[in-house]
Structure 1
Amino acid sequence: MATELNVGIIGVNTSGGWAAEAHVPAVQAVDGLHLTAVAAGSPAAADEAAQAFDVAKAYGDGLALIADPDIDVVTVATRVPGHRDLLLAALAAGKHVYSEWPLGAGSHQAREIADAARSARVKHAIGLQLRESPAVRMARDILRSGALGRALSASVSSTTAGFGPDVPPQFAYLEDPATFANMVTIQGAHTVDLLIALAGPLASMVALGSRQFPQIAVGAPRQLRERITFDHLLMQGRHATGAPFTLEVAGGRTGKTPFHLDLVGETGHLRLVGGAPRGLQSGRIGLIRDGEPQNINEGPFAALSDAAVNVAGVYAALRDDIRHDTSTVTDFEYAVRLTRLIEDVLTTPQASRLQADEAWPGR
């Protein structure tokens, strides 16, 4: 295998978006990866992105990028409804893949994609990038060392400026439940996943979804309509360790600290703080241990933006899995299980329960 892996990113636009903001600088910062191609919704947009980011190849169609024999790793960073066809095509072509979260528009699609990845025998990463946050990794190491003693409780507050009463035109699609891209499936899932990554599997859970802004102004010109997705989520339950947890995810909020997570043990306390106005998954996380801020070693990614630093960690883990034929990165099988949990929350949000015999492992 060549020392350097060629990466192609689908969904890059110079007008903005997560691919340009996070994926492009992340790939360019990881040793052993080379950003070889980008794809956008039109040849003109792709050419513009390739020129802006100094990329050799541009495609106006994601399938054309996938067909390029020089590409080793395909990243799908489009809107969720487009994930299935692109991921299945990339897997059929034998490419390693990085998919943004959510994997598919519901568990049926997620299961189909995960099965295809297993059959293709390629490496695959799901974009739950908080697991590769340097602060989260440090917190996980402290917890695993037993330094905090027996876990007593966990609590999370996770807010976003999005999903408030005013919905800009570019985010109107997030108000359609069929896209599987809303506050619960995105912000909620990233928050729940972080809690599981640190405090372990859930043994029981009750969830309550609400609409704190039942009337919204959408699009341009603004049109008033009823919100049919949830903009607020409460959860409580127990981890498999027996420690109880509480979790709140809220849209339409602004503040200097949009996120904090507290882990209390018999002999110590950890608090993760930070995040970003658009959601905790989009920013840097800091760590406080027993009231003292910790120095976080971000290694080669210290100079990256808040949006890119955690994404770069996922690419580095995927690179190592490809090189060494290991399976350390959070993958599509896990994405299926998390999708099912989120579907439970959405299906019966006022009485959603995960029973003890359904507890599934965090990874």
Structure 2
Amino acid sequence: MAPIRVGIIGLSSKATTSWASRAHLPYLLASNGKYEIIALCNSSVDAAQAAINSYKLPSSTKAYGDPQALANDPDIDLVVCSVRVDNHYKTTKPSIEAGKDVYVEWPLGANLEEATELATLAKEKGVKNMVSLEGRISPVYLKVKALLAENKIGKVLSSSVVASDGTKAPTTIPEGRKYFLDRRVGGNLLTIFFGHLVDSIHSVLGPFTNTKSTLSTTRAKVDVLSSSGQVTETIKPNTPDHIIYSGKLSNSDSAPISIFLRRAAPFKDTPGFVWSILGETGEIRVVATGPIFQAAEQSPQIFVESFESGDVQEVDLEDEQSPFKLPAKNIARLYEAFASGKQGTFPNFEDAIGLHKELAEVLKQWDAEGGH
């Protein structure tokens, strides 16, 4: 089978977070012939060529400085979009219009409207699409789902999550991430951290009903720090730094569910993520140093308590051997599923729209209560 020919938008040699190089590039360079990088598209042709040189890609790799030029390339099958959230729409739309398959990082768009337009267009053009909600295929979430299917704790009675994002100095933020404090960009604690978290929990426990939320911005001002640690500016956030979300589980006779996420480090020597699922005959507890263990090394552990015996056992994750480290490990699983062509084995734009709608309702409630 011929490899899937890839054009990447956002593989920069100078990016602050280097997500494309850490999450996407490792697998694409070692996919055993399933994928081939054909072109890069950055803010300019020179920037794309610099990345080609920096990552030692073949000299035949094309350099583009315009998403439309990338979309016009007949040699590209799949366009991968790994840029800041507020650029997803304008950089991806030309390729969808050109009938190319697309893979976009989560969130799909800066808001529900952008995401809906991209999803509608992709459906009209009949293009295969994927969105990076990799928590669904993370071994931890898959294992918890399997434990419930095996009836390890009986009927689910309730579930709760308490999490901290790990920020050690909540009154400061690195310059490269100051956009987390600007709601217009679309990438922040709610959309990225909470979005990934709640989607992963949905993949295990199903949808929620009767949801209620409380969002707060507790820091009126945040200092932006340069790479050398100097304060470059002080800004007023209009995104939440505390999120409380509750409801009932549709798949478990309306069992209550609650999620609490804060932008702060956890209490000293305590986990930054604790997820409990209470059942009739036992309880499952997942602990980790933080809530993004599907994308970062945060040492997740799963424990199962049996009420009858009183025993608590740690569950072996039995993670299959992988040559990749996080975040590339789970991104590789997405690429493998996409290459298989089996719909339903990877999250797509329609899945993204469902999550966008859920988060839009949270923001709508916040606005109605006088939020930013």
Check 1:136–1:226 CA distance in 2 against 1; reply closer, same or farther (3 A cut): same
Counterpart contact for 1:234–1:248, Cα < 8 Å: yes
d(CA) in 2 for partners of 1:349 and 1:282?
28
Task: Say whether the 8 Å CA contact 1:258–1:280 is kept in structure 2.
Answer: no
Which residue is 2:45 aligned to? 43
- Secondary structure at 2:212 match in 1: strand
Distance in 2 (CA, whole Å) between partners of 1:228 and 1:249 is 17
Measured after TM superposition, the shift of residue 245 of structure 1 is 1.0
Query: May I ask how many residue pairs the two structures share in their alignment?
Result: 346
Cα separation, 2, equivalents of 1:223 and 1:316? 43
What's 2:307 paired with? Answer: none
Using the TM superposition, give the Cα deviation of residue 280 of structure 1 relative to its aligned residue in structure 2, in angstroms.
Answer: 4.3
Matched, 1:318 2:338: yes
What TM-score, normalized to structure 2? 0.85
- Tell whether the 8 Å contact from 1:314 to 1:329 is kept in structure 2 after alignment: yes
Q: In structure 2, what is the Cα distance between the partners aligned to 1:237 and 1:269?
A: 19
Match of 1:234 among 224, 238, 244: 244
Query: Partner residue of 2:255?
Result: 243
Say yes or no: does 1:71 pair with 2:76: yes
SS in 2 for 1:340: helix
Question: Contact between 1:238 and 1:244, CA under 8 Å: does it hold in 2?
Answer: yes
Q: Post-superposition shift, 1:238?
A: 0.7
| Aligned counterparts, 1:166-181, within 5 A | 166-181=172-187
Superposed CA offset, 1:108-154 (max 9, x none) = 11111111111121221111111111222222222223333111111
What SS is found at the alignment partner of 1:264? strand
Structure 2 counterpart of 1:14, one-letter code: S
Aligned ranges for residues 146-295 of structure 1 at < 5 Å? 146-162=151-167, 164-218=170-224, 221-240=231-250, 241=252, 242-253=254-265, 257-274=271-288, 279-284=292-297, 286-290=300-304, 291-295=312-316
Matching residue of 1:14: 13
Instruction: Give the letter for the 2:300 counterpart.
Output: G
* Displacement of 1:320: 1.2
Q: Quote how far apart the aligned CAs of 1:208 are.
A: 0.4
Counterpart position of 1:299: 320
Q: Distance in 1 between matches of 2:3 and 2:316?
A: 32
Give 4+ residue runs of structure 1 displaced > 6 Å after superposition. Answer: none
Cα distance change, pair 14–226 in 1 and its aligned pair in 2 (3 A):
same
- Cα distance in 1 between the residues matched to 2:276 and 2:339: 32
* Residue 87 (1) aligns with residue 92 (2): yes
What 5-or-longer segments of structure 2 have no aligned partner? 305-311
- Cα distance in 1 between the residues matched to 2:262 and 2:3: 42
Q: Equivalent residue for 2:309? A: none
Flag the 1:19–1:134 CA change in 2: closer, same or farther, 3 A: same
Q: How far 1:331 sits from its partner (Å)?
A: 1.1
- Determine whether 1:332 maps to 2:311: no
1:55 match: secondary structure: coil
1:192 partner SS: helix
> Which deviates further from its counterpart, 259-268 or 204-213?
259-268
Partner residue, 1:117: 122
| Same amino acid, percent of matched pairs | 29
**Secondary structure in 2 aligned to 1:349?**
helix
1:94 is aligned with what amino acid? Answer: G
Matched with 1:347 is: 364
Q: Specify the structure having the higher radius of gyration (Cα).
A: 2
Give the C-alpha shift of residue 88 in structure 1.
1.7
State the Cα deviation string for residues 187-219 of structure 1 (Å, max 9, x = none): 111111111111111012111001232221125
Q: Which runs of 5+ in 1 are unaligned?
A: 353-363
The amino acid that maps onto 2:29 is Q
The residue number in structure 2 matching 1:34 is 36
Moved more, 10-19 or 231-240: 10-19
Q: CA deviation at 1:341?
A: 1.1
- The CA deviation at 1:308 is 1.3
Instruction: Give the drift of 1:271.
Output: 2.8
The CA RMSD over aligned residues, in Å, is 2.4
Q: Is the 8 A contact 2:182 2:237 kept in 1?
A: no
Amino acid of the structure 1 residue aligned with 2:133: L
CA distance in 2, matches of 1:135, 1:225: 37
- Whether the 8 Å CA contact 2:20–2:82 is kept in 1: the answer is yes
